[in-house]
Structure 1
Amino acid sequence: MSGWQDVPPPRQRIGPLGWFRVAWRGGLIGLATYGGLLVLLLVRLVEWPLYGQARPVTPRITQGVCRFVLRALGLPLVVQGRPMAAPGAIVANHAGWLDIFVLNAVQQVYFVAKAEVAAWPGIGWLARATGTVFIARKGVEAKRQQQVFEVRLHAGHRLLFFPEGTSTDAIRVLPFKSTLFQAFFEPALVRSMHIQPVTVILHAPEGADRRHYGWWGDMDFASHLLQVLATPRQGKVEVIFHPEVPVDAFENRKVLAQHCERVIRTAHVRAVE
């Protein structure tokens, strides 16, 4: 990315106590994540023949693991509002990899991610196992992706996507791209679907750079993960569920995307000021 806050915060030297926290927290998180994955895959062997796409059990495993990860990190979670009960999707701002754990912890969702994520070491495997919907950026894939969306939504899945299209420095919200909103304006979905905007605010630890939890541009995952694990006293994360809106109340995808961006950005600005 370019044109905005390209220089990441300086990395702090990790001392002996920091490495102890890395080992302790990292061990707990790794055990929970991959142990949970094994349990999920075993349960899925039974769940799939009985329920197919519906997945009534395995999302609860994902949610439980993510809640444990936040506790192991020592990252307090504050939630305002409630996940919607109506059928549809969630849109949220995106600061980095922590968002995945946070948003999975507060509700049972399936992420929509770019196709490249499926090939990421470790992360891609987890994403596939937990039911992530992978999308290609090629226009020729639009029809197939629309069909995938319809199948998943009609199966009762709550899809979640990041309209910014990239992660950020955690102190701002980038303009929303409206492309994925178009899927909900198809005749088979437009009259029944709702969209719920969700704001995620990552507050840096006291005295740390405000961008402490942001992960963007060319920052590598491993070093950022080590910094977060080594942090002595974490900040906190807030999640705000805003009122959902019916898709057919909006003229087109651009108007709907602008509404969601305005709601999320307003709450984010108020919280980080």
Structure 2
Amino acid sequence: MADVWQEPDAPAPVPMTGGAIWRVIRRGVPLAILVFGGLLILVTVRLIERPFCGLRRPVTPYITQAVCRSAFGILGIRFRSIGAPMKGPGAVVANHASWLDIFALNARKRIYFVSKSEVAGWPGIGWLARATGTVFIKRDRREAASQIAVFRDRLAAGHKLLFFPEGTSTDGLRVLPFKPTLFAAFFDPALAGNLCVQPVTVNYTAPAGQDRRFYGWWGDMAFGPHLLATLAVKGQGSVTVHYHLPVRLTDFADRKVLAKTLENTVRSGLAVHDGA
């Protein structure tokens, strides 16, 4: 949770030719129907699910997964994964490159994002985040005890909580240092126990002929223009989600060692993909 990462320039916008406008319509309309139709179904099912299951969500995560997998099909972005998602409750950490991460990380693994509280108020993304069970936390040390209680309850319900330890999104070509303060809550006696953490690397390959940072969304880049560019581009690229082996919290002396180990693992996945 930090200031946004900045880079002096951004990829050139996709020219809005007649063909580009047609692609925006051809992809954008079905995508909107999928996302908001799926949201409506999810909310309806949750109204039934919540009174009987509480924090446990036996049905709605599968709706989220289906929507996210289908979204890549509509966009034409090729999706693949490497490795095995961790079984059982625990924490997941990943690099953060784009709003597309929401779809990529939900497509195969049923997870719940942990996000800064400001996201809850964002139009569109905020609504989706709340509906899909995102945990919102405040950047205030006075809230630490209540946040640990929330994490404990969610983990006890079998949830996998996903964190972006960089604290901001980037251009997708790098992994920023992981902030160890985020991992302090993991070492609370109420959580530590048998808690496992799985590092995950999200790799984007830009469409042919486009800037390598095409799918990256960072700094003060507006969501609308970035979404339009993603819809308008003639050919699409791909995304690969690499699931690394989980680590056990009790194997680490403190949060700094844990953060650095996870950071290096996530970065190694990005380097391997980049060199492939």
Contact 2:82/2:241 (CA < 8 Å) preserved in 1? yes
1:20 to 19, 22, 26: 22
> What CA RMSD, in Å, does the superposition of the two structures yield over aligned residues?
1.2
CA distance in 2, matches of 1:138, 1:6: 30
Deviations 1:186-216, CA, capped at 9 Å, x for gaps: 1122122100000000011111100000000
Q: For 2:44 and 2:6, locate their aligned partners in 1 and report how far apart those are by CA, in whole Å.
A: 44
Question: Structure 1: which 5+ runs fail to align?
Answer: none
Deviation of 1:3 after TM superposition, in Å, equals: 7.9
Could you give the per-residue CA deviations for residues 131-154 of structure 1, whole angstroms, max 9, x where no partner exists?
Answer: 000011111111111111111111
Indicate if the aligned counterparts of 1:87 and 1:192 stay in contact, CA closer than 8 A.
no
Report if aligned partners of 2:112, 2:159 keep a CA contact under 8 Å in 1: yes
Q: Is the 8 A contact 1:169 1:211 kept in 2?
A: yes
Which SS does the other structure have where 1:55 is aligned? coil
TM-score where L is the length of structure 1: 0.97
Alpha-carbon distance change, 195 to 2 in structure 1, aligned in 2, over 3 angstroms: closer
* Contact persistence 2:6–2:219 (CA under 8 A): no
The normalised TM-score by structure 2 is: 0.96
Matched residue of 1:91: which SS? Answer: strand
State the shift of 1:90 in Å: 0.5
Output the amino acid matched with 1:87. Answer: P
Match of 1:265 among 264, 267, 271: 267
Could you give the per-residue CA deviations for residues 145-198 of structure 1, whole angstroms, max 9, x where no partner exists?
111111111111111010000000111111111122112111122122100000
Q: C-alpha displacement at 1:29, in angstroms?
A: 0.8
**Gapped regions of structure 2 (runs ≥ 5):** none
Deviation of 1:2 (Å) = 7.8
Letter in 1 for 2:38: G
Residue equivalent to 2:231: 229
Q: What is the alpha-carbon distance in structure 2 between the residues aligned to residue 34 and residue 133 of structure 1? A: 21
2:120 is equivalent to residue 105 of structure 1: no
Correspondence for 1:208 among 207, 210, 225: 210
What is the alpha-carbon distance in structure 2 between the residues aligned to residue 27 and residue 95 of structure 1?
A: 25
Contact 1:6 1:217 in 2 (8 A): no
Aligned partners of 2:127, 2:139: CA distance in 1, in Å?
Answer: 20
Please list, as runs of the form range in 1=range in 2, the aligned pairs for 1:40-55 lying within 5 A after superposition.
40-55=42-57
Tell me how far apart the structure 2 counterparts of residues 218 and 113 of structure 1 sit (CA, whole Å). Answer: 18
Superposed counterparts of 1:171-210, under 5 Å: 171-210=173-212
Q: Which amino acid aligns with 1:64?
A: A
Aligned to 1:135: 137
State the distance in 2 between where 1:3 and 1:126 align: 24
How many Å separate the matches in 1 of 2:212 and 2:192? 39
Which residue does the alignment assign to 2:124?
122
Partner of 1:253 in structure 2? Answer: 255
Partner of 1:10 in structure 2?
Answer: 12
SS in 2 for 1:84: coil
SS in 1 for 2:30: helix
Partner Cα distance (1:6, 1:267) in 2 = 26
Residues 95-136 of structure 1: CA deviation (Å, up to 9, x unaligned): 010001110111101000111000001111111011000011
* 8 Å CA contact 1:113, 1:134 repeated in 2: yes
**Structure 2: distance between partners of 1:78 and 1:114:** 28
Report if aligned partners of 2:4, 2:218 keep a CA contact under 8 Å in 1.
no
Q: Which moved more, 1:208-217 or 1:78-87?
A: 78-87
The letter of the residue matching 1:136 is K
Measured in 1, the distance between the counterparts of 2:264 and 2:186 equals 19
Runs of 4+ deviating beyond 2 Å: 1-6
Return the offset for 1:4.
Answer: 5.8
Q: Output the CA distance in 1 between the equivalents of 2:134 and 2:182.
A: 15
Segment of structure 1 superposing worse, 89-98 or 173-182:
173-182
What is the SS of the residue equivalent to 2:128? helix
